[in-house]
Structure 1
Amino acid sequence: MADGALMTDKDKALAGELAKDLTRRPGREEAEAAVRTLLAYIGENPDREGLIDTPKRFVKAWDDWFEGYNLDAEDVLARTFEEVEGYDDIVLMKNIRIESHCEHHVAPIIGKAHIAYLPDTRVVGISKLARLADIYSKRLQSQEILTNQIAQTLDRVLQPKGVAVLIDAEHQCISTRGIHKTGVSCVTRCFTGAFKTDPALEDRFFRLVG
């Protein structure tokens, strides 16, 4: 089947308009037309019963998977608390499920994040640490950048004595395509402040993470 053989005139017009100006954000109809194009590209019929609503479902799924582009990570950390009753030890949230997509193949990245900080004068609700990870995860990512974004944002907004972030994740661009290696995970970390300068604190972090 020739490329685009099953594209409607409306699909072609929308694709043409999008190609003219890639600096603006496309509308939903344009996104759905692009999905129809991809279905035709692989040799499918976008108009068959099982696929007729796939473009709408696909775009709706992307709205969920890439919600992070519409959210401000710093806003999530805006509300902090100064009443810590003298608490001056590590705050750690571990085993936070990470669901992201690699920026090279748009393939899933699934794993866990461990986020810790050493408070100075303020703390933040622990659920916000998981939310921070979600916001950056729900974007096209490399794991190295994702790790740094979480750590640097927490460090910049909360201004603690130190931050530690470790992510252990499997990349399906490796397990389901290319070299097809399953059971392989990538580990990245980013330390700031005391976690970077104090080996004993770094060691405690790793022991707590287990």
Structure 2
Amino acid sequence: MNIKHILPSDIEKESFRIIKSELEEAGRTLPEELEPTIIRVIHTTADFEYANTLMFSDNVIEKAKDAIRRGAHIVTDTNMALSGISKKTLAKYGGEVHCFMADEEVAIEAKQRQVTRAYVSMEKAAKIDAPLIFAIGNAPTALVKLWELMNDETANFRPELIIGVPVGFVNVVEAKELIINSNVPFIVNRGRKGGSGVAAAICNSILYNIN
């Protein structure tokens, strides 16, 4: 077995090259505007199935970039995703990243109402006075709450983008389908796969490619 000597600064570039090469060998051609996102997710997971299961609404990448240029904030449902999203890059455009899962008031209210903290977190996040992008990598209940808010005429709530990639077995598939069938721009991974790392990778693929 031959171990390649690669400079640390070149590892990601070489990984992307390998991914593109293997996709080409499999006869898989990616749409130009979606390629950076799909490849970064595959790079994060080493799972080529994402090339087939990631779903994108029409013109969603450009819509997301426009929202970020207008100072969009990103809300996520895990501190892991919060750590992984490039806050420095987002800050260049006036945006911030938020996660309310550890918020004491959220925890108390969730316990009182017997709902998840993610569910209550979305209610709190919806009050942020800025364009909003939601990056959900863990909790399907967050997607359910976002769907409820979007369908509540009194809420006057419409995110710029919902990234719906929770991982798991209970209500995960169903919650993702709610977002796919909504009228909001979305990036969703169909099926059970996903996770906080995937949510962060999707955000970064957009942030790193804004011209």
> Which TM class, normalised by the smaller chain length?
under 0.3
More strand, by proportion: 1
Larger radius of gyration: 1
Normalized per residue, the structure richer in helix is 2
Which fold has the larger relative contact order, with Cα–Cα distance below 8 Å and residues 6 or more apart in sequence? 2
The normalised TM-score by structure 1 is: 0.26
- Give me the TM-score of the superposition, normalised by structure 2: 0.25
